[in-house]
Each structure stands twice: as C-alpha cells, then as structure tokens.
Structure 1
Amino acid sequence: MLSDKIRELRSIRGLSLEQLANMVGSTKSYIWELEKKPEIKPSAELVSKLAQALNVTMDSLMDESKENDRDVVFFREYKNLSEETKVQLMSILQAIK
C-alpha cells in the first residue's frame, strides 16, 4: 500500500514527518494521514514530489508489491558514491559475508 511505502521509505531515509512535509510542500499532519489512513488518495503532483523526496520512481512508490524498497534506495545512494567509497563498501560486504 502507498501508505506503508511512504512510511517505510521515510524511515529508511531517516526523515521525520515534518522534514518530508517540508520537502514536498505539505504539512506534517497530512503526511501522517497518508501513512496512517490508506484510504487517502494524494494528488499525482504530490505523489511525484514524494517519489522525488524519497529518491524512488513514481512507479515504485505506487507499485503494490513491497519487495525491494530498501534495495531501490540503497542502489540509488550507491550510484552517487565516490569510486573510493564504493571499493571500501565492497570490502566491508566481503568481510561480513
């Protein structure tokens, strides 16, 4: 559900309700309602802003399947890392396997 995805992605990104609301030009109370009341249907414009703020595509945000939300965020963040940081991250991953 959209409400679950917004809450999960906001949590993954470490954003408060207020921070996300400010990023998308909304209110903390409306973001809370979106997360708690699945029957609320935001406008396409707001969904677009939420997707951008949460660093996912609109399709991913609207997709009913919950799989891979964390992976999507991880790989988007990974793409922006320096090559040196990517090498360090790979070393860490190999060490904890």
Structure 2
Amino acid sequence: MVGERIKLLRTKKGYSISELAKIAGVSKSYLSYIERNVQRNPSLQFLSKIAETLETSMEYLLEEEEQLDEEWVSLIKKAKDEGVSKEDFQKYLDFVKFKKWEEDQRDPSSRL
C-alpha cells in the first residue's frame, strides 16, 4: 500500500514524520493518516511532493504489491516476441473464460 511504501522510504532516509512533512511541504497529520492507512487515496499533488522528497517516483509509490514472477514475465515476453498482440491476448483470455463457463454449465457441482 502507498502508506507502507512511504513509511519504509521515510525511515530508510532517517526522517521523522514531522521532518518529511516539513521538507515536502505537506500536512504532518495528513502524512500520518496516509502512513497508517486511515486515508487511502492521497492526492496526486501530495504524492508528487512526497515522491520528489524521498527521491522516488509516483509510480513506485502507487505500484501494486503483487509482482509478476519470472515465469509470467518470460511467458509474456515470449508471446510478444512471437507476435502475439494485446488484442490476441485478450481474445485468448476471453476464450479461457468461455471454456471455464462452459465446463461449469456441464458440471454444476464444480462451482462448489
């Protein structure tokens, strides 16, 4: 989560909440709310100031926790190298969803 990443970077830099808030020009209480996940949707302006002060990017702060493992990355790269387009991939996903739906229709007990 955003708050956890900010807190991690802040502590690595050796800043207290008060110091980071002052340097970044943001509200100490708002920063505290973000770090404690009381407030979960910080403004882009806030994130921009914090990211700059912590010498990171807004993308890093907003990045989802779950990362693709190396096998997924390799499969996606291979598909791309072999000319599979995003549209092709979406069609494949739709086909897989359809096949699962079709299986569920034949065997209703598999939904349990």
Judge conservation of contact 1:3–1:35 (CA < 8 Å) in 2. Answer: yes
Q: Name the TM-score, length of structure 2 as normaliser.
A: 0.54
5+ long unaligned stretches in structure 1 = 68-97
Question: Which residue of structure 2 aligns with residue 27 of structure 1?
Answer: 27
Question: Which residue of structure 2 aligns with residue 49 of structure 1?
Answer: 49
Question: Which residue of structure 2 aligns with residue 36 of structure 1?
Answer: 36
Q: How does 1:12-91 map to 2 (within 5 A)?
A: 12-37=12-37, 39-65=39-65
Distance 1:8 1:66 in 2: 17
- Structure of larger gyration radius: 2
Question: Which residue of structure 2 aligns with residue 93 of structure 1?
Answer: none
In the TM superposition, what is the alpha-carbon distance from 1:24 to its structure 2 partner? 1.9
Q: Percent same amino acid at aligned positions?
A: 33
RMSD: 1.8
Give the number of the structure with larger relative contact order, counting CA–CA contacts within 8 Å between residues 6 or more apart: 1
In the TM superposition, what is the alpha-carbon distance from 1:66 to its structure 2 partner? 7.8
Judge conservation of contact 2:17–2:32 (CA < 8 Å) in 1. Answer: yes
Judge conservation of contact 2:2–2:40 (CA < 8 Å) in 1. Answer: no
Distance 1:31 1:17 in 2: 7
Distance 1:3 1:40 in 2: 8
Distance 1:12 1:66 in 2: 22
Q: Name the TM-score, length of structure 1 as normaliser.
A: 0.62
The 1:14–1:64 alpha-carbon spacing in structure 2 relative to 1, beyond 3 Å, is same
Distance 1:56 1:35 in 2: 16
Distance 2:17 2:28 in 1: 5
Deviation sequence 1:22-45 (CA, Å, 0-9, x none): 122122221111100254311101
Distance 2:59 2:10 in 1: 17
> How many pairs align?
67
